[in-house]
Every structure is written in structure tokens, then in C-alpha cells.
Amino acid sequence: MISILIVDDEKLARNTLKKIIPWQELGIDTLYEAADGAEAFALVKLHRPDIILSDIKMPHMDGIAFAKLLRENEWPSHLIFLSGYTDKEYLKDAIHLQVDGYIEKPLNPEEISALLRKVVEKCRQEHSDKKETVYFFRNRYDDTTLNDQVYTLSKQALSDFSDALKQKDRTKALLLLQTLCAKMRQCEGTEPDYLRGIFGRIALLVEQSAELNGASQTAADGARLVHQVSGIRQFSVMESSVLSLTEAFFEEISGMTDDPVGKVQSYLLEHFRNPDLAIQDIASHLNFNHTYLSTVYRQKTGHTINTHLTQLRIEEAKKLLLETSLRLYQVGEAVGYRDGKYFARIFTREVGVTPRQFREYRHA
């Protein structure tokens, strides 16, 4: 339903407008009228018309003063001015009043109808957007009036949540998230897309923490939610989605009872002869983020994964040098080095003598 308020101090002018414009054909089903700006403002507060068609020169309160009062009170009605040739100076003052159009007198029905048709389409879109916003916050389609509070995300809010994930503090993370959601839910004047962006950032933080901790299922679910959140139409669905994702993260990491260091060492012992072995391959096989795995391994052992890999290869090379007659380059290939010179250089660095010297010294 689209409503319009006609404001003109001449009753004849108001009646003429009511007769010459095909209101119903344009989609306007409710008409109000007022004789001046003061009376019009009282009707605006009472009926909240979608469109206001107002003369400029009127007694008591003219159209410009009326428009300024509307904008000062942040009334969203669309405003169209009816102006005579002598009103040009007034129109200069109206530029900043967000007016949708000007119709010069004498009035042309086709011109008025064409402008009204455009404004009505704007109103319909706004009504649709308003219903979508109500549905977003309240889970229903109706004319419910939402509050005008606007939420602004602080950097600290996401920083605290991220820290709780890093610390693997389940209680703190969920409490922070629930508090954040409650604050956002109360601010119904916030653009839904802004809140969708916040939920997307939350999902991304959980996804990244899951990757770092080897929680592959949660990481995959988080990546999906990051891409899906822009299309979610209800706040409650987004809220439950990020809460469930966070719960899943803590559930998945709590089930990881095996020591990642032990897993790495077992894998290295079995695969150190592979010349193409890389940390990324190890992490992928063990379902860990390679950066996380490298950091944890170094923290717990005091050396890197590559250092342990080299130690395994050199120890095996020592055995082959003493127990077999393999050529030096063949020993290198057997423990994961394709380049014989590179093998010799690494062996010398680690042992203090060349592979040949090591074999000859031990056999002497």
C-alpha cells in the first residue's frame, strides 16, 4: 500500500490534483491533504505517508520550511515540490533537502504521473527491503517497527575471540561469541549486510584456527560458511551457524589425543628415504597445517622437522657406508639424496668428515 499527502493552501488546487491524476493506476491507494506545512507535519507524524506532493508558497509554514522540518526529524517520506516560475529562488534553498522532483505550474498531468510512477517504484522497493530487514531480525514478514540502534564492531571484539581460539579456551570463546551476537541482535538499525560481514569474519577466524590445529572437518565447514554467509537471510541462522562451527572446532581438537610430534617422527622414520619428502606433504598426510606443525614440533623438540629428517638420513648413511659396498652416490640415493655431491656436503657438515673418510676410518 502506497500513500500520498497533498499539501497546498488552495483547496481548488488540491481537488484538481485528486481528479486529474490516475492514483490507483499508479499504485497509490491512500490520499491525505493539508492546507499548509504545519498541518501537513501533524499528518505526517500520524499517518507516515510514503510520498508528499507539496506546493512551495503557503501561509503559516511554506514548503521549504516544511521540508526542512521533515529532514531535521529524519522522516523518510519522498518529497515532490509544485512550483511556479516565481519560486526559483526558493528552489535554490531546497537542493540539499533530498527532494525527488519539481513540477512547474501550470500542472501537466502526464508529467506528474510520470514522476510519481518512478517514486512509487522506489517506495515499493523500500517496502520490500523493510520487510526483508524485519524478516532478518524477527524471522517474520510484517510491518513491525524495528528500533534504530546501529551496531559498530570494535577491533577488540574480534581480537578477544581470536585469542580465545588460539588459547583453546572453549568457555571464553563461546561466551565472547554469545555476547557479541546479543549486542548485534539488539541493534535493528544496522544494515544486514554489515552484520553478514561480521559473521563472515568470525567464520574465517574459526576456519583459520581449525587449519592451524589440524581440525580438517571444521576448516572445511568454516570455508563453506564464509562463502555462504552473504546469502543467509536470517540473523538467527547466522548466529546458530557460527556458534555450531565454534563448538565443532573445540570438539574436533579435543578428540586429537595423539602427539603431533610422535606422529611426525613416525612418519619420517617410514618415509625419510623419499627424496621428494617435504614438510607440506607430512602435514597434509597428518591433517595438520604445515605452519602449525612446524611451530609445535620446534617448541617441543628444540629443533626443526628438517633437522630430524637430516639426522635420520645421515644415521642410515653411516650404516650403509659400513655395512655395504655401495658407491658413495648410491648411498646418497638410498637415503633420499639424488645429488651425490650434495649428499657428501651434508654428510661432511653433520659428521665432520667426508663419506669416504668415514668409511675408510672405520674400516682401518
**Phi, psi values for residue 139, rounded to 5°:** 65, 30
Residue 148 belongs to some domain of the structure: no
| pLDDT score, position 297 | 85
pLDDT at 286 over 70: yes
Q: What is the C-alpha to C-alpha distance for residues 174 and 243, in angstroms, rounded to an integer? A: 7
pTM, entire model: 0.53
**In terms of domains, do 128 and 32 share one?**
yes
3-state helix, strand, coil in the chain (%, to 5): 65, 10, 25
- Which of these, 32, 27, 26, 33, lies nearest to 1 by C-alpha position? 27
pLDDT band at 313 (very low <50, low <70, confident <90, very high): very high
Residue 105 lies in a domain: yes
pLDDT digits (tens, 9 = 90+) for 241-278: 999 999 999 988 876 655 678 788 888 988 999 999 99
Residue 44 belongs to domain spanning: 2-136
Residue 263 and residue 269: Cα distance in Å, rounded? 10
Planar angle of CA 300, 301, 304, nearest 5 degrees: 110
In a domain, 143, yes or no: no
Give the per-residue pLDDT at 298: 87
Residues 238 and 346 reside in one and the same domain? no
| Residue 238 confidence class, pLDDT cut points 50, 70, 90 | very high
User: How many C-beta atoms surround the C-beta of residue 36 within 10 A?
Assistant: 20
pLDDT in tens, 110-141: 889 999 999 888 888 878 778 888 888 888 77
Q: Looking at the structure, tell me whether residues 6 and 101 fall in a common domain.
A: yes
Q: What is the mean pLDDT of the chain?
A: 87
Q: Is residue 109 part of a domain?
A: yes
What's the grid cell of residue 242? 557460527
pLDDT at 354: 94
Q: Is the pLDDT of residue 159 over 60?
A: yes
Per-residue model confidence (pLDDT) at position 100 = 82
If asked whether residues 205 and 223 sit together in one domain, one would say yes
- pLDDT surpassing 60 at residue 56: yes
pLDDT of 123:
83
- Is residue 29 predicted with pLDDT exceeding 70? yes
Give the Cα separation of 308 and 347 in Å (integer). 14
CATH number at residue 121: 3.40.50.2300
C-alpha to C-alpha distance for 28 and 117, rounded to whole angstroms? 9
CA 67/CA 10 separation, integer angstroms: 19
Cell of 130: 523493510
Residues 165 and 91 placed together within one structural domain of the fold:
no
Mean pLDDT computed over 157-174: 92
> Once rounded to an integer, what is the mean pLDDT over residues 95-122?
84
Total domains in the fold of the chain: 3
Boundary (domain end) residue, out of 254, 271, 297: 254
What 3-state class would DSSP assign to 48? coil
